[in-house]
Amino acid sequence: MCMCRCSSVLFVSSAVGLALERLIMCASVKYGSRGPALIPRMKTKHRIYYITLFSVVLLGLIATGMFQFWPHSIESSAEWSLDRRSVHDAPLVRIPMSSPIPERGDLSCRMHTCFDVYRCGYNPKNKIKVFIYPLQRFVDEVGVPISSTGLSREYNDLLSAISDSDFYTDDVTRACLFIPSIDVLNQNSLRIRETAQALAMLPRWDKGMNHLLFNMLPGGPPDYNTALDVPRDRALLAGGGFSTWTYRQGYDVSIPVYSPLSAEVDLPERQPGPRRYFILSSQTAIHREYRVELERLKEENGEALLLLDKCSNLSQDLASVRKRCYKGQVYDYPQILQESSFCVVLRGARLGQATLSDVLQAGCVPVIMADSYILPFSEVLDWKRASVVIPEEKLPEMYTILKSIPHRQVEEMQRQARWFWEAYFSSMKAIGMTTLQIINDRIYPYAARTYEEWNNPSVVKWSSVNSPLFLPLIPPRSPGFTAVVLTYDRIESLFRVITEISKVPSLAKLLVVWNNQNKSPPEESLWPKVTVPLKVVRTKENKLSNRFFPFDEIETEAVLAIDDDIIMLTSDELQFGYEVWREFPDRLVGYPGRLHLWDHEMGKWKYESEWTNEVSMVLTGAAFYHKYFNYLYTYKMPGDIKNWVDAHMNCEDIAMNFLVANITGKAPIKVTPRKKFKCPECTAIDGLSLDQTHMVERSECINKFASVFGTMPLKVVEHRADPVLYKDDFPEKLKSFPNIGSL
């Protein structure tokens, strides 16, 4: 009683509020447009208006508060009733005999002809919105349902998965894709004509535009067409068992036939490797011509093949589905699939077979022999890495063909098969989400998932490296490099560095990063005279990461990071470093090399700066690298490494080495022989490195970074780069880089 009154009050007040609000809106818009000059001219007679306005506003606020407070109980009661819903509560819809029938699917339909892309709109998330029609029970004029199954368990699972996903919208006006709740998964249980009529009766049908139907078992005896026979206008079809004749490439989606065993049987993943049997055939309804051929193969190759059939001696009940027999011996299905390297998936009456799903689940490599079959999700999945497709005609050669596959490839395919099942076959949800993602990718192709995202199992995604600079390019010499000198207050040393670097022929520009906020850089006239442009950038904070900032002033792709105390590198050495960088533009190319080592006693990583035979890092106190890595360091450094480095004022070079090695999978290149990186009047990197506490700190950095990256990306190499004729018995003046390695 109370609730009822409150809601009626609420209704009145909100209605009044709304009405007034509109009035005010109009008023304020009007005044707003004329500007503030009008306000002073207002007369006192308006005062009453304002008072009323104020009170109404107050009232409105109270009303809103109540509105916000009460509805919870109303909604929760509605949800409570929801939980007990039954399919039989769904409204009954009678289809008149004369109700229109959609046209048969148009084979020439493509996304650009039969799909209304305007409904999907342009949105920043690049995600389509999917609407599901509420469940209705369609019956014909005499009350017979259009389907013998009604809503199946699987279709219900599919729809609730979609409804729980990001794709779902309950707002029919915002939807881009419509999914009828009429279950057409299995054509056998459908009355074709009536189903078609029911589809056409859907409120937004509009010639099937943007409608998606899911069908796994198309066709019926005796012809078994490869696509759903229900006339469906322009509706998209996600079908299991398409052939190249019925599949509209880029429009339909080929989906797997869901195997109910997926949910019932738990097959643990097996390590890839050789199995007891080489080839296994487990299908029961193989055409007798093919069975004869399989048996001939069995005769030739004996134990390697296992040909199973249904068990004739067992009673035909539910349990018999999970048994297979060979000469009276009973095997458990699908467990037996795990005992074979290859499993045959032959054309049945239909092209799509639920067996495929079982085989993949067992991590057995499917041998698919069904000519013109469009493999599930073939638009995005690379089946050549997970299966062997053999023309039916070559069935007799199957054994030889499979034997020719290297065993490592078999293992690779076993792993891939299992991964396909887990990601795309294992549940109706997986099938539904994959289908929607494929359609989504077509509508927003520029934001589509990549081949790697679709096809690489997480193990491979983790270990594989896709360098962002993958094109083999040796950039021309002419743009040269930009030297970025990080400095704080060692002006004298800085000027010497600048003078030295300016002698390098390929230097294009000098950029001094002035990291001292308390002191201004020296006047322009005091700087050494150099032939290339020299630019000083003043930073806001004294951070080490400033040296790796992708300044707009860096116009070359090659960057030479150099400390303000590195005066011992000769012009030949620097020029040669640049030449080496050109041959390896995706690597760090530097002078002093360092190594990380595993300390077995302490059980952690250790930093090493001694004379070692190996190198895994180069110090960025003097190193060439691609400007891209500046961008990466500044914006894509994983975890808190960047802040950590700035806080500790150390290890920015180690962080850079980690970053580059992690993304490219490649080791840095140390150039030219080791020299004493010590200048007479300053403490250089080496000087510092010798300090014990410094070493401990550097080791800590390595351990910290390794834990952030979750792996040790650094790669160890045993080589360094020298000029071709380095130390060769050859006249020095004929060498390009004679002045190398002299201390």
Partner 1 sequence: MQAKKRYLILFSAGVCLILLFYLQGPASRRTPNRGDDPHPHWPHFSDPLRAFIPWDQTETEDYNVRVSPRHKRDDNSGAYKCRMDSCFDFSLCGSNGFKVYVYPQQKGEKISESYRNILSSIESSRFYTSDPGQACLFVLNLDTLDRDQLSPQYVHNLKTKIQNLNLWNNGRNHLIFNLYSGTWPDYTEDLGFEIGQAMLAKASISTENFRPDFDISIPLFSKDHPRTGGDRGYLKYNTIPPFRKYVLVFKGKRYLTGIGSDTRNALHHVHNAEDVVLLTTCKHGKDWQKHKDARCDKDNAEYDRYDYKEMLHNSTFCLVPRGRRLGSFRFLEALQAACVPVMLSNGWELPFSEIIDWHTAAVIGDERLLLQIPSTVRSIHQDRILSLRQQTQFLWEAYFSSVEKIVLTTLEIIQDRVLQHNARSTLMWNRLPGGLFTLPQFSSYLGDFPFFYSVLGVKPQQKFTAVIHAVTPLVSQSQPIFKLLVAVAKSQYCAQIIVLWNCDKPLPAKHRWPATSVPVIVIEGESKVMSSRFLPYDNIRTDAVLSLDEDTVLSTTEVDFAFTVWQIFPERIVGYPARSHFWDSNKERWGYTSKWTNDYSMVLTGAAFYHRYYNYLYTQYLPGSLKSMVDQLSNCEDILMNFLVSAVTKMPPIKVTQKKQYKETMMGQTSRASRWADPDHFAQRQMCMNKFASWFGTMPLVHSQMRLDPVLFKDQVSILRKKYRDIERL
- With binding defined as CB under 8 A, does residue 293 bind partner 1? no
**Which listed residue (250, 273, 505, 522) binds partner 1 by CB under 8 A?**
250
Query: Taking CB under 8 A as the criterion, which residues in 395-434 touch partner 1?
Result: 401, 405-406, 408-409, 412
Residue with tokens 């045959």: 344
- With binding defined as CB under 8 A, does residue 549 bind partner 1? no
Shortest spacing between CB 582 and partner 1, in angstroms: 9
For the beta carbon of residue 371, count every other beta carbon within 10 angstroms: 14
Burial (CB count <10 Å: 0-12, 13-18, 19+), residue 637: buried
**Which listed residue (423, 460, 536, 695) binds partner 1 by CB under 8 A?**
460
- Alpha carbons 159 and 180: distance in angstroms, whole number: 9
Number of residues that bind partner 1 (CB under 8 A): 177
- With binding defined as CB under 8 A, does residue 26 bind partner 1? no
Q: Which two tokens stand for residue 236?
A: 């998209």
Backbone angles phi, psi at 350, to 5 degrees: -105, 160
Shortest spacing between CB 583 and partner 1, in angstroms: 6
- Residues 259, 262, 264: CA angle, nearest 5 degrees: 115
Query: What residues pair up with 509 in beta bridges, in sequence order?
Result: 482
Q: Do 530 and 503 touch, CB atoms closer than 8 A?
A: no
The dihedral built from the CA positions of residue 100, 104, 105 and 107, taken in this order, carries a sign that is: negative
Region near partner 1 per CB under 8 A, out of 205-213, 231-239, 349-357, 694-702: 349-357
Nearer to partner 1, 462 or 598 (CB): 462
The dihedral built from the CA positions of residue 528, 533, 538 and 543, taken in this order, carries a sign that is: negative
Shortest spacing between CB 660 and partner 1, in angstroms: 14
* DSSP result, 173-241: TT-SEEE-SS--SBGGGB-HHHHHHHHHHSTT-GGGTTBEEEESB---TTT--SS--S--TT-EEEESS
- Alpha carbons 350 and 287: distance in angstroms, whole number: 12
**Which listed residue (4, 122, 518, 680) binds partner 1 by CB under 8 A?**
122
**Which listed residue (149, 301, 634, 703) binds partner 1 by CB under 8 A?**
149
Query: Taking CB under 8 A as the criterion, which residues in 620-649 touch partner 1?
Result: 626-628, 630-631
SS3 state of residue 656: helix
Query: Taking CB under 8 A as the criterion, which residues in 165-224 touch partner 1?
Result: 168, 170-172, 183, 185-186, 188-189, 216-217, 221-222, 224
- With binding defined as CB under 8 A, does residue 31 bind partner 1? yes
Shortest spacing between CB 200 and partner 1, in angstroms: 18
Query: Taking CB under 8 A as the criterion, which residues in 32-91 touch partner 1?
Result: 36, 39-40, 42, 46, 50, 53-54, 57, 60-61, 64, 67-68, 71, 78, 82-88
- With binding defined as CB under 8 A, does residue 720 bind partner 1? yes
- With binding defined as CB under 8 A, does residue 145 bind partner 1? no
Query: Taking CB under 8 A as the criterion, which residues in 363-402 touch partner 1?
Result: 371-372, 382, 384-385, 388-393, 401
Region near partner 1 per CB under 8 A, out of 488-496, 535-543, 641-649, 671-679: 671-679
Which residue from 346, 353, 429, 436 is spatially nearest to 392, judged by alpha carbons? Answer: 346
For the beta carbon of residue 563, count every other beta carbon within 10 angstroms: 23
Query: Taking CB under 8 A as the criterion, which residues in 507-546 touch partner 1?
Result: none
Shortest spacing between CB 696 and partner 1, in angstroms: 24
For the beta carbon of residue 336, count every other beta carbon within 10 angstroms: 22
**Which listed residue (138, 140, 154, 331) binds partner 1 by CB under 8 A?**
154
- Alpha carbons 97 and 720: distance in angstroms, whole number: 85
Q: Do 452 and 461 touch, CB atoms closer than 8 A?
A: yes
Nearer to partner 1, 38 or 649 (CB): 38
Q: In terms of DSSP bridges, do strands 340-346 and 277-281 run parallel, antiparallel, or are they unpaired?
A: parallel
Shortest spacing between CB 326 and partner 1, in angstroms: 17
Nearer to partner 1, 446 or 680 (CB): 446
**Which listed residue (1, 48, 526, 724) binds partner 1 by CB under 8 A?**
724
Query: Taking CB under 8 A as the criterion, which residues in 294-313 touch partner 1?
Result: none
